[in-house]
Amino acid sequence: MNAHRPRTVVVGAGIAGLSTALRLNQAGWEVLVIERSPSRRSGGYAVTFAGAGYDAAGRMGILPELTTRHIIPDRMDYVRPDGRTRFSVPGPTVRAMVGDRALNVLRGDIEDVLYQAVTDQASGQGSSPVQIRFGTTVVGVEQDPDGVDVTLDDGTIYRADLLVGADGLHSATRRLVFGPEDDLRLDLNHMAGVFFLDTLPDGVEPGVTASLTDTGRTLAVVSLGADRAVAFFGYRTERPMDELADGPQVALPRAYGDMGWVAPDVLAQLAGAESVYFDTISQMVLDRWSRGRVVLLGDAAWCVTLFAGYGSSLAVAGADALGAALERHPDDLPAALHEWEAEIRPEAERKQKLGRQIKGLYAPADPFRLWLRDLPLRLASYRPVSALLQRRLQLTS
Ligand SMILES: Cc1cc2nc3c(=O)[nH]c(=O)nc-3n(C[C@H](O)[C@H](O)[C@H](O)COP(=O)(O)OP(=O)(O)OC[C@H]3O[C@@H](n4cnc5c(N)ncnc54)[C@H](O)[C@@H]3O)c2cc1C
């Protein structure tokens, strides 16, 4: 790999793909990113960005910009089906609960920051180029001892030293190299749907995150100031792949049609929504994340799920660790990939386990479990506990 500048193809321009492009480019690699969507995707839900991902973002130089995108609701309201508030957690308490080495950021904003960093870095003096091709996917992968030939859907064959599959839960790279998705996917029997709202429904105040959980389903509306709001749906199902096949326009009204509160207003905005995220909540279970010169990273490899609340963080941490391992072993790709996996796998497996444990409490069907789930938040809403948490924040910030 040393005789020439090493080259990689990264499939997918999500958080995993863009952070891999950024980090490998920082390590001196020439990078081609291919993204199936015709242009940059925007939007998405708010995610907690913390732990190893937070530290990695610091090393990669994107933390200051990410910090400017940090959002904290003025208040979190937990409501009843008739819209009355069960209890509220004030913004400063939410801040204290998030902690001081963690951010609450829109998924699309993390992508924005990464995209900007990749573009800035690639235009810097002496940098190797990062190319991004939209509307492109991978249709073939052939490996030999000296490289990997990646066939794109326009017929181009790109010769690289490493192929990174960062193409998410339904990864084409994984299917081509590791086998059919159905053999590797563990469904957690829930669906998630997210889209931006044009107007904030009556009953949700600007700046507030409000949510209702009943009979195995949650609807949350996250207001991000006067002109931005996101609707989030998460519900249980015994047939996730059938729900996926039906699509959000059929499945979400079916699951939430009788919910009450702001659900009718939110569902009325679904038909005109510009883009809707809708997918099963599933984990990927693979005993190895690399085969020869092909490695999977992010949701394509592990998908810890939103129950673990750590997928974005782990994607960035995984990309940083991959770059570091390749720097340590510039002439020994198998050693680099082995070391990288040994570093990341324990954390990914811990978070997957957490995700499986939390799934039963996420949108509980029975009232006792709901009460149990809400107990810590209810406690946080009481003034003495709230004051204690806020003091803790002042002490640590
Ligand atoms: C509702 C929800 C809430 C979440 N909350 C949190 C949280 O609080 N904290 C947290 O850390 N994480 C959270 N996550 C997880 C987090 O969003 C993901 O784990 C993270 O974004 C990493 O995703 P990724 O880049 O691996 O995959 P993706 O975001 O799926 O990106 C994959 C990219 O590859 C592209 N692609 C797909 N197929 C192809 C193909 N064949 N060819 C080319 N391109 C392709 C896609 O268009 C996409 O751009 C949440 C997820 C969901 C769904």
CB 161 within 8 A of CB 7: yes
| Range picked from 9-13, 195-199, 372-376 for highest mean pLDDT | 9-13
Q: Which of 9, 20, 36, 235 to mutate to test the pocket of ligand 1 (most atoms within 8 A of CB)?
A: 36
- Mark out the alpha helices in 157-295 (DSSP H runs): 172-178, 240-246, 248-256, 263-270
Which pLDDT band, with edges at 50, 70 and 90, does 381 fall under?
A: low
Distance 147 CA to ligand 1 centre (A): 28
Q: Is 109 in the pocket of ligand 1 (CB under 6 A)?
A: no
Task: Please give the pLDDT value at position 397.
Answer: 33
Task: Please give the pLDDT value at position 371.
Answer: 65
Name the residue with higher pLDDT: 374 or 241.
Answer: 241
CB 297 within 8 A of CB 288: no
Q: Is 12 in the pocket of ligand 1 (CB under 6 A)?
A: yes
pTM beyond cutoff 0.85: yes
Atom of ligand 1 at shortest range from CA of 16: 25
Distance 146 CA to ligand 1 centre (A): 31
d(C-alpha 51, C-alpha 34), whole Å: 28
Distance 97 CA to ligand 1 centre (A): 25
d(C-alpha 306, C-alpha 161), whole Å: 33
Task: Please give the pLDDT value at position 113.
Answer: 97
Mean pLDDT of the chain: 90
Name the residue with higher pLDDT: 391 or 125.
Answer: 391
- The 10s digit of each residue's pLDDT in 62-112 is 999 999 999 888 899 999 999 999 999 998 888 888 888 899 999 999 999
CA-angle at 185, arms to 196 and 9, nearest 5°:
75
What mean pLDDT is predicted for residues 303-320? Answer: 95
CB 342 within 8 A of CB 215: no
Task: Please give the pLDDT value at position 257.
Answer: 96
Which pLDDT band, with edges at 50, 70 and 90, does 368 fall under?
A: low
Ranges 120-124, 222-226, 335-339, 381-385: which has the least confidence: 381-385
Residue of minimum CA distance from atom 10 in ligand 1? 310
Ranges 67-71, 140-144, 174-178, 382-386: which has the least confidence: 382-386
In the predicted structure, residue 373 carries a pLDDT above the cut 80: no
Which pLDDT band, with edges at 50, 70 and 90, does 338 fall under?
A: very high
In the predicted structure, residue 119 carries a pLDDT above the cut 80: yes
CA 75 centroid distance within chain: 24
In the predicted structure, residue 363 carries a pLDDT above the cut 50: yes
Strands, sheet with 147-152, edge to edge from the N-terminal-most edge strand:
138-144, 147-152, 157-160
Query: What is the CATH topology of the domain spanning 7-71+101-184+284-361?
Result: FAD/NAD(P)-binding domain (3.50.50)
What mean pLDDT is predicted for residues 172-198? Answer: 96
